[in-house]
Each structure stands twice: as C-alpha cells, then as structure tokens.
C-alpha cells in the first residue's frame, strides 16, 4: 500500500473513525484502524464489534492495499506532522512508513485480514433527514436513555416513522423524552427500531450542523447512518420497547406557562447546596403567578422564586434537580407549558404555543416530612 493525501483530511478521518475503535481491548486489532487504499481514495474504519464508523477521503494511491494501525499512535503522528501532505507506504512485513516534510516514522501494523468484517446493509428501508435536524433530535432525547442493563431495550432510543413523521423516544423509568418532526420526503413506510444510546453518542460526535442530507438505512439486525463520505453502523436492540403512548396523560389539572431560561436560572441558584453525594430534591410550590423553590441538605437551605402564568393552587412537588435541568435545557423553545395534576403524577413539559414536536415527562420525588 502506498498513498499520499492531505494531512488535515487524514487527521479528521482518523479522529472520526477512532470514535468506534476500542480504547482498550484484549483483542489488539480492535484498538486499531483499518486503512484501505484503492483507486483515488483511502477508507478508514473503526469497529469495536458493536459500533463501526467508516469514512473515506481522496488520495493519490500508487499501490492499493490495506493495513491495521494503532488508532491512538497513528492519530498522534498525523496530528503532529509538520507538512501539508502525508505519505504512507507499507512493506511486505506490515511496517508502515509515514513521512511528512522532515518527519518520518516506521511503525508496525497488523494484517488487514485480521480486522473483523463490518456488517453490510443492503436494500433496507431508508429515511432521509437533514443532518442538523437529526443532530438536534438525538441530542434533545438521548440524555434520557437508561443505563440500567437489566432492561437492555431501554439502553437505546426508539425511532418510529408514521404518517410521514419521525419520532425519537428515550426513557429510563424516571423520565421520558420525545421529539417529533415531519420528514421532507413523507413517502416513508411505517416502522420502528431501537438504536443503542452509546451508538447515538458517537453519532453526535461526527454529525454536522449543516443542511446536508443524512440517510438512515434499516437492516434486519443493524442500522446504518450515512453522513456524506462517513458511515456509522450499529446493531439494533431487540425486544419490546415500553408502550410510551399509554403512559402519557391525556390532560393535566393545571397548565402553567414559564420562561425556560428564568426557570433554569432559579433552579441553578437553589441547587448550589445540592451535591452529587447529597441528592436532595428541590421542592416546588406552584402558586398564583409564582413558583416557590426550596432545597435543604446537610450543607444548609436555599430558596428562590420564578414567575409564571397560571395558578397551581399551591400544588407541592419534589424534583430531582438533574432530571429537571436536563429536560429544560433540551427543550427547543423558550416558552414552556408545564402540565401538573398531583404531587405524585408526572410533570409534563410542552411547547407553550401548543406544538407537539416535543414532550418531556419527569416523575416527581416524594418529599419527606421535613422537606414538605
């Protein structure tokens, strides 16, 4: 194998594919990247047997071939290379010679045949959506994915298409996050699948904020996201996802409106006495035109207020600061409506303008006698 390419393009490709390479594995080849040169391009792949990322860059290839190089070492060499262009040549003994201006390295690689074969998805149903919109939808739901391995299906997010709309849902037993958008190409069959949250975390690292089109291709056991010259493939999670529709209340006794930033600021101030070890809830009293917040821990007590529209008739509810803040920060609009009924039923967070593009539900925390 022998090729020359731009240093910047190669470095970006290495960093992108490295997101799927194993950081530490008893199988040494999984800590590497598969480098394949052919025609007028170089393809770089990372794969940890769960998630794979493949990206392609243009190059001058004088001799096609393949080799596996340690992802971390290869990335550091290219990052610190002084020139604009890098040449890579491989000997028959699997030694890669990497040159750029005055710098030259020789590092031992592994045969390309030792690298596990990535899953191939052909002929599956496909969804097309702008990368920026897909990125927002995932980032505004993935925080609610469960980390409880006893229910593996909920360690991923549910993707559903119906009536030309894409809905993404994540839940962990304490909260639910839902985002819904109409697809530009509404001629999409109805189907559903669950993508591991870890794969979506990696997707967020490589997806752009632009209007380029992302393609989601559904296979029988795998799901593939295609982003220009880069592809991420992941196994699907199998099982029955929770029937989230049945858990969403059809109405709420109180509907109050509040500014997102105002509520976040008040919660931040009250939470100063709450630490990771002292996970005390924040008590909220929804009165007429105001939310009164208090918190108590071994560090002391704090109180604050936030203005609102409506009257909650002094309804008292306790919330985990983290769960409430996660939902508020993910909400894509400034003006929110909180749907409340009792101190033990979920709090629903919607768009104050009535849009159904998103919904967050948070289960309240029971307040102890001294907190109430």
pLDDT tens for each residue of 177-235: 999 999 987 678 888 999 999 999 999 999 999 889 999 999 989 999 999 999 999 99
Q: To the nearest whole number, what is the mean pLDDT of the chain? A: 94
- pLDDT tens digits for range 229-244: 999 999 999 999 999 9
pLDDT at 121 over 90: no
Beta bridge partners of 285: 292, 316
pLDDT at 316 over 50: yes
Cα–Cα dist 307/312, whole Å: 12
> Does residue 265 come out as left (phi exceeding 0), alpha (psi in the -120 to 50 range) or beta?
alpha
User: In the structure, what pLDDT confidence band is assigned to residue 278 with cuts at 50, 70 and 90?
Assistant: low
By C-alpha distance, which of 47, 38, 85 is closest to 66? 38
Which pLDDT belongs to residue 303? 96
Are 217 and 124 spatial neighbours (Cβ–Cβ below 8 Å)?
yes
Which pLDDT belongs to residue 370? 42
- pLDDT tens digits for range 24-51: 999 999 999 999 999 999 999 999 999 9
- What the chain holds in terms of domains, given with CATH numbers, is 2-114 (3.10.150.10), 125-245 (3.10.150.10), 248-362 (3.10.150.10)
**CA contacts within 13 A on the Cβ side of 187:** 0
- pLDDT tens digits for range 295-309: 998 889 999 999 999
Cα–Cα dist 316/20, whole Å: 46
Q: How many CB atoms lie within 10 A of CB 215?
A: 14
Cα–Cα dist 331/360, whole Å: 8
State the pairing for strand pair 32-38/65-70. antiparallel
């Amino acid at each position: 194998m022998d090729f020359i390419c731009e240093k910047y393009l190669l470095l970006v490709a290495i960093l992108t594919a490295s997101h799927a390479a194993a950081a530490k594995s008893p199988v040494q080849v999984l800590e590497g990247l598969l480098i394949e040169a052919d025609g007028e391009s170089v393809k770089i792949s990372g794969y940890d047997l769960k998630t794979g990322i493949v990206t392609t860059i243009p190059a001058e290839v004088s001799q096609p071939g393949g080799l596996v190089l340690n992802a971390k070492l290869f990335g550091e060499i290219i990052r610190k290379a002084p020139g604009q262009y890098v040449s890579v040549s491989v000997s028959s003994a699997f030694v890669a010679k990497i040159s750029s201006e005055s710098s030259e390295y020789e590092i031992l690689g592994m045969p390309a045949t030792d690298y596990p074969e990535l899953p191939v998805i052909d002929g599956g149903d496909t969804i097309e959506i702008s990368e920026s919109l897909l990125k927002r939808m995932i980032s505004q739901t993935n925080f609610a994915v469960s980390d409880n391995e006893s229910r593996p299906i909920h360690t991923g997010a549910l993707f559903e298409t119906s009536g030309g709309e894409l809905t993404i849902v994540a839940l962990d037993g304490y909260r639910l996050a839902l985002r819904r958008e109409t697809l530009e190409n509404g001629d999409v069959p109805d189907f559903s699948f669950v993508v591991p949250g870890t794969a979506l975390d990696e997707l967020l690292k490589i997806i752009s904020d632009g209007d380029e089109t992302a393609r989601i291709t559904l296979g029988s056991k795998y799901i593939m996201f295609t982003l220009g010259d880069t592809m991420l493939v992941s196994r699907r999670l199998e099982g029955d996802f929770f029937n989230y529709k049945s858990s969403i209340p059809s109405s709420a006794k109180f509907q109050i409106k509040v500014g997102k930033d105002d509520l976040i600021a008040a919660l931040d101030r009250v939470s100063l006495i709450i630490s990771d070890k002292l996970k005390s809830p924040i008590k909220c009293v929804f009165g007429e035109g105001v939310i009164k917040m208090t918190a108590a821990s071994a560090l002391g007590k704090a109180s604050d207020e936030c203005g609102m529209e409506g009257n909650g008739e002094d309804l008292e509810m306790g919330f985990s600061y983290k769960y409430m803040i996660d939902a508020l920060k993910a909400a894509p609009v400034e003006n929110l409506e909180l749907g409340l009924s009792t101190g033990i039923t979920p709090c629903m967070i919607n768009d104050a303008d009535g849009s159904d593009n998103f919904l967050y539900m948070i289960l309240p925390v029971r307040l102890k006698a001294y907190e109430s």
